[in-house]
Amino acid sequence: MRRTWLIFSQAVTVAVALWFVVATLKPDWIRRDTVSGLPAAVSILQAPALPASSASAGGLTSYAAAAKRATPAVVSITASKTPQRNPQADDPWFRFFFGDQPQRQQQQPQVGLGSGVIVSPDGYLLTNNHVIDGADDIEVQLSDGRQSRAKVVGTDPETDVAVLKISLDKLPVIAFGSVESAQVGDVVLAIGNPFGVGQTVTSGIVSALGRNQLGINTFENFIQTDAAINPGNSGGALVDAHGNLLGINTAIYSRSGGSMGIGFAIPANTAQLVMEGLIRDGQVTRGWIGVEPRDLTPEIAETFNLPVREGVLITGVLQNGPAAAGGMRPGDVVVKVAGTPVANTVQLLAAVAALKPQATATLSVQRGDRTIELKVVVAQRPRSGPPRER
């Protein structure tokens, strides 16, 4: 019995060794064929493809339709700024020391490249304010090759939105999407003119919503995406998987100047509200109360022995401003604006900006251990931005 078991174990060992050698040197000899009804071997480096029916049922396999729908409405913008002439060029003493400056040494016009989105058949375009800021001449090129000079309808530096207008017929127009329905993980496409190479489409997902306190704009409520956004994409379109406009690409996080998978877009509904105000009134009307706010931290709340843990600490009140006239003092903590709770400076800024100038708003304030209601007559926010309220 022992001799039989020894022979069996040796035979098994030799067989395994032979199989290993053949599998290493001649794997095709032992691959099972699908013709015989047995499944063929699958490489661990390549997953099996889904059947066509599963791919179509599980989701889109191509975003060509979305890109085809959106790209005609995305334009390239060339903004030129004529350099200012040296005011001392005609000064005799300047010419004595530095001589006459040849024409060829005069500074060339500064040219900036960006993108824009046609949102109206009347020729209105949305782009970023920083794309056209200070430009003397703005040239717009459509994807079909047509070109036109653009007129600046209005700008809003606090949201970095600008509205342009061109005069061309049969303009392609993009449709606004539902920003409220957007979710983290949704597929998005970024369309623009990166580095001036021409119209480009990149894909990614919505990485986050409501990004703020980035120090980019005064009013921040960005859509964050990992779709590649590079210099020149500014003012271009961020669209959903159906080609509808979700945002205006405006900034990237980068240490090298190129995309690192963190880009930010102004929500389309925000850009639309700004556009309507600029077209109707030539400016965006926002409320203002004249305070210097700061986020209320647990440490500050404990130091001042406050019974609240959420709100906005007022560290400064503009003399003779709306808040001062309403009785607000430094050290007050604003917890509600017109019935809307505010937990940080961003929410306070947005809530106050939404108020109509000359309207009376009720602000709920925590002052020490007392909760008081202040009546404040809202003023119109200065266009350039007040000195003590962001």
Quote the tokens at residue 126.
């949305």
Mapped onto helix, strand or coil, the DSSP state of residue 211 is: strand
Residue among 374, 373, 372, 370 at smallest CA distance from 305 = 370
Name the phi and psi angles at 290, rounded to 5.
80, 60
Long-range contacts at 292-295 (CB < 8 A, ≥ 24 apart) = 292/316, 292/317, 292/318, 292/388, 292/389, 293/334, 293/345, 293/348, 293/349, 293/389, 293/390, 294/345, 295/344, 295/345
Quote the tokens at residue 90.
């005609």
d(CA 142, CA 164): 14
| Contact criterion met (CB below 8 Å) for 40 and 34 | yes
| Contact criterion met (CB below 8 Å) for 143 and 71 | yes
Which residues are marked as active site? 130, 160, 234
